[in-house]
Amino acid sequence: MLKLKKILSIVITVVCFVVFNVNVIASANTNDDVINIVTTTFNLSSHVTQEQKITLANGYEGIVGLEFIEPTIESYMTNDLSNRTWKIYFYGVGINIHYYINIHDSKITDAYGLSFFNIGWAVQDSSLTYTSKKSTGYLNCFYGVGSIGISSTFRLNATISGNKLITSFTG
C-alpha cells in the first residue's frame, strides 16, 4: 500500500510539472506582433511596500513591486539618510527577478544585487545596467531540450520621474 502511494505521488507530481511547464511555455511564447510590456507607477514618498498585479498581452501574469529598504545602522551613525534603497521585483509563474537601487536627489546612484529564480528555464545571459534616471535587469532564457525549445527575454526596468518610480516589465 505504501509503495502504491509513492508511485501515485510521483505520477501526480510529474503530471503537475508537465502541465505547469506547458502553461509557462504557452504564456512566454510571444508573437512578434504583440508587445508584451506593462508599465506601473509607484510613489517614492511613501516608504512602504507597494505592489501591482500585471497581465501581459500574451496572458502571462505576475506582481511588480517596490519595497523600501530601511537604512542601515551605519547610515544612522553617519547621519547619511539621504540615500534611499529600494528593492524592485517581479514575481510570476516560472520567473522571478529582483534587484536593488539607491536613489539620492531623484537620481539613481547605484543598481546592484540582480537575482532571479526560475522553474524550467535555463538563463543564458543576465545583466543589470543603470544610468542616473533608469535601471534595467535583463534575463535571456531558454526553455527546452538541446536546441529544441523557445527563447524569451525578460526585462524589469525602473525610471525615475520626480518622486515617482515608473517600472515596466517585458516578458
Q: What is the pLDDT of residues 62-114, one digit of tens each?
A: 999 999 987 766 655 555 545 689 999 999 988 899 999 999 888 999 999 99
DSSP result, 61-130: EEEEEEEEEPPPHHHHHHT--S-EEEEEEEEESSEEEEEEEEEETTEEEEEEEEEEEESSPEEEEEEEEE
Q: What local confidence, expressed as pLDDT, does residue 24 receive?
A: 45
CATH number attached to the domain at 2-170: 2.60.40.3860
Residues 6+ apart with CB under 8 A from 53: 61, 62, 63
Domain ranges of the chain: 2-170
- Nearest 5°: CA angle at 55, between 57 and 99? 115
Burial state string for 125-164 with b = 16 or more CB within 10 A and e = fewer than 16: eeebebeeebbbbbbbbebeeeeeeeebebbbbbbbeeee
Higher pLDDT: 3 or 42? It is 42
Indicate the burial class of 11 (C-beta count within 10 angstroms; 0-12, 13-18, 19 or more): exposed
Q: What is the pLDDT of residue 37?
A: 84
How far is Cα 85 from Cα 71, in angstroms, rounded to an integer?
A: 8
**Entry pTM:** 0.73
